[in-house]
Amino acid sequence: MKTANGINLTMLCDFYELTMGNGYFLSDRRDMISYFDVFFRNIPDGGGFAVAAGLEQIVDYVQNLHFDDDDIAYLRSRGIFDEGFLEYLKNFRFHGDIWAIPEGTPIFPGEPVITVRAPAIEAQLLETYMLLEFNHQSLIATKANRICRAAEGRTVLEFGSRRAQGIAGAVTGARAAYIGGCAGTACTVSDQIYGVPAAGTMAHSWVQMFDSELEAFEHYCRTYPNNAVLLVDTYDSMRSGVPNAIRAFNSILKPLGITKCGIRLDSGDMAYLTKKARKMLDEAGWTECKITVSNSLDERLIRDLIRQGARIDSFGVGERLITSKSDPVFGGVYKLCAVEKEDGTRIPKIKISENVGKITNPDFKKLYRFYDRETGKAEADYICLREEIVEDSQPLTICDPMARWKRKTMENYTAVELQVPVFRDGVLVYKLPTLPEIKAYCAAQIDTLWPEVMRFDNPHQYYVDLSEKLMVMKDEMLLSSGRRKETAV
């Protein structure tokens, strides 16, 4: 896979992945089967959940992993890589297995969202790009979903391309925003590539190009009679903008029998202006005219506008969505959790830190979600060893991960494995859903969450627990590590 300017994205990796790969090649770790988990530690904006996204781009990346002659020449020029390793890279491709939670699924800290099983060099090389896509798109999908929930059913459009962090930030950001709930985007190329519906009407420059605001509005209505959305705040929204929009609708659309149209406000006190504009439009007989607002919006401003009785039908949200301005980093990480000996024996691995939040969960795992049979709501997630099987309604005691004395007993539930096989022996075995399918799936899955988990402020702590076997393994590895430190001292 290459970018528009010909860069091979296989080289979009941290340099240490190549130095480690070279080291593995020159040691007995070259073909050691390794297991890595992708997970995240904190939910952006202090929310109750995040939304998984980016898998489609990860799949494309894995399928196209290769090193060009120019890449090999560059690596040789660094003077630190073994020639045998460079020869190995010439024929490089991915031979491993990958499991992942489908895009659009609500996810929680510490859960294995993606698991990679592959020879050490191959598994290590995936780290940077996999995290890049997972972190960015999950961040924007999560932010978009917060904004769309704040809009309470009103249309939200993503307007952020010009403020995005680079090309990919705009293009895949629009894709992620659509998964999270946005109805469309202003980014044309995201429509062309991914099918995110692109929409847009006019900027202030359109109005300024004409000798008068009325002339600009009339010409636009004449050109696009079935999509006449007029930007009314170039000069004075209430004194000229809305009155001239009404005049243009009357002179151009009314004779054609068209009653559907719209205005957009991009500045000012939106609560006051939209209420006044709605009154003016209704009194003029344009009751079907929709009001769109934009200008540095986010979920909290949208929620406040609605509480204040603003008469808004749709929102255009830009910089604060496409950059997730209030919390712009999604802390996904890629950590080794096990290695496999030649005889197939699996050796669990754990990362230990004085920062408790950075201690990892060892070994090859699976993730269940428990849905209450009566309500259909998600009640808890359960991380266990891969060999463990949870039957529906098997009695289980689930603990709050932050306060293990807080427990609840699970009985009448359906257990669903969240990860699905994506690659097996390097071959894609997962049928990628269409983007509209992902968007619909995301909405349906979020609807399974309790409102307490979805609130913006102090959301309920969703239960994510470890199985007893996994917890015992983790505790024993932590204690064993402590004994080794004492011995060393």
The tokens 């007989």 sit on which residue?
A: 285
Mean pLDDT of 144-149: 98
Mean pLDDT of 18-27: 97
Residue 489: what pLDDT? Answer: 31
- The answer, yes or no, to whether residue 123 has pLDDT greater than 80, is yes
pLDDT tens, position by position, 285-294 = 999 999 999 9
Q: Which long-range contacts (CB under 8 A, 24 or more apart) does 234-242 make?
A: 234/204, 234/207, 234/208, 235/207, 237/265, 237/267, 237/268, 237/273, 237/277, 238/273, 238/276, 238/277, 238/280, 240/213, 241/213, 242/276, 242/277, 242/280, 242/281
The tokens 């020639």 sit on which residue?
A: 83
Instruction: Reduce the secondary structure of 92-107 to three states and give it as a string.
Output: CCCCCEEEECCCCCEE
pLDDT tens, position by position, 291-310 = 999 999 999 999 999 999 99
Mean pLDDT of 118-127: 97
Buried b (16+ CB within 10 A) or exposed e, 17-31: bbebbbbbbeeebee
- What percentage of the chain carries pLDDT values higher than 70? 96
Residue 487: what pLDDT? Answer: 40
Mean pLDDT of 318-346: 96
Residue 486: what pLDDT? Answer: 44
Mean pLDDT rounded to a whole number for the chain: 95
Residue 267: what pLDDT? Answer: 95
- The answer, yes or no, to whether residue 179 has pLDDT greater than 70, is yes
Residue 488: what pLDDT? Answer: 37
CB 386 within 8 A of CB 364: yes
- The answer, yes or no, to whether residue 8 has pLDDT greater than 60, is yes
CA distances for 161 relative to 44, 51, 168, 177, angstroms: 21, 21, 10, 12
The letter for the amino acid at 375 is T
CB 21 within 8 A of CB 125: yes
pLDDT tens, position by position, 50-84 = 999 999 999 999 999 999 999 999 999 999 999 99
pLDDT tens, position by position, 333-354 = 999 999 999 899 999 999 998 8
Mind listing the domains of the chain with CATH numbers?
Answer: 9-140+328-488 (3.20.140.10), 141-322 (3.20.20.70)
In terms of C-beta density within 10 A (0-12 exposed, 13-18 middle, 19 or more buried), how is residue 208 classed?
exposed
- The answer, yes or no, to whether residue 483 has pLDDT greater than 90, is no
Q: d(Cα 352, Cα 385) in Å, to the nearest integer?
A: 19
The pTM score is: 0.95
| SS3 label, residue 311 | coil
Cα torsion at 178, 184, 187, 188 (round to 10°)?
A: 120
DSSP state of 118: E
Residue 481: what pLDDT? Answer: 78
